[in-house]
Structures are given as structure tokens and as C-alpha cells.
Structure 1
Amino acid sequence: MSAAEASETRMANDIARNLAHLGFDKAAAELAGHIGRFWDPRMRGRLLAQVDAGAPGIHPLVEQAVKLLR
């Protein structure tokens, strides 16, 4: 995993932990919305590639958010 990819995963995981109090479905939707609105397409692409590759350490909310982004 490159430094940029690690950065996207870390950021997405941090946001997921901050939104977890909303409950799984609401948090995943909010995370997907945040990533869709504020992340550069290259950042989104790297995150999606990491989830697709089954990279270790990805928060379940991030995985669900990626599904919602597709």
C-alpha cells in the first residue's frame, strides 16, 4: 500500500469512527456523502481500489460507504 493509499484509508476510517454514533446505515450514508462531495476523484479511486483489494484494516462503515458510492 502506498503512502497515498494508506492516507485515504486512514482518513476514511477516522471519519467512520466519528460518525459511528449515528448507527451503521446512517453513518455509512453520511460517510458516502462526505467522500462523494469533498474528496478528489483520485482520492476516491484509491480508496475504492483498496476496498476492492480487501486491504486489511478498513472499517466496515468504509466498506459500506464504498458500496453506496457505486
Structure 2
Amino acid sequence: MSNDAKLVRMANQIATFFHSQPAAEGPQGVATHINKFWEPRMRRQLFDIVDHRSGEGLDPMVLAAAPLIKRPAPSGSTDHPPAA
């Protein structure tokens, strides 16, 4: 299984849990979980799937949560502003 397939499966498992919760809480719950527990590299990979592959394979709830997920800095850039 490729890294992308594993990441899609993990994101969809989170969404599956939140499908059992009130509908209004679903996207926020998915986003909160991903923001708390996924490292920037994983979130970067998720946004690559969302942005460049139309969210291929992702549960619609994961796609609804995407605007609420913290978008990490592009790979190779620093997360800190330059020193003054």
C-alpha cells in the first residue's frame, strides 16, 4: 500500500468515527483530530491529494474538513519568520 493510500485510509477512518456523531460536528471533529495528531508532513501530503488530485478516495467529510485543517508551510521552507 502506498503512502498516499495509507494516508487516505487514515483520514477516512477518522471521518467514519465522526459519521456516528451529530452531522454539524463532523467536519470540525475531523479537522481538530488531524490538527492535533498529524505532523506537518502528513497534512502537506493530505493537501496534495485535496489540491492536485481532487480529493481522490477521500470521504466527503474529510473534504468538508479541509478548510478547517491547518495548512503547513510548503516542504523545504521554514515555519519560522526570518529574524529581524
Q: What are the within-5 Å matches in structure 2 for residues 12-51 of structure 1?
A: 12-51=11-50
Distance in 1 of aligned mates of 2:25 and 2:63? 14
Distance in 2 of aligned mates of 1:30 and 1:52? 21
Residue by residue, what CA displacement relative to the aligned partner does 1:22-67 show, whole Å, maximum 9, x if unpaired?
A: 1333111011000001001100110111011214221111001111
TM-score, normalization by structure 2:
0.73
* Structure 1 vs Structure 2 CA RMSD: 1.6
Quick check: which has more Rg, 1 or 2?
Answer: 2
Stretches of 4+ moved more than 4 A in 1? none
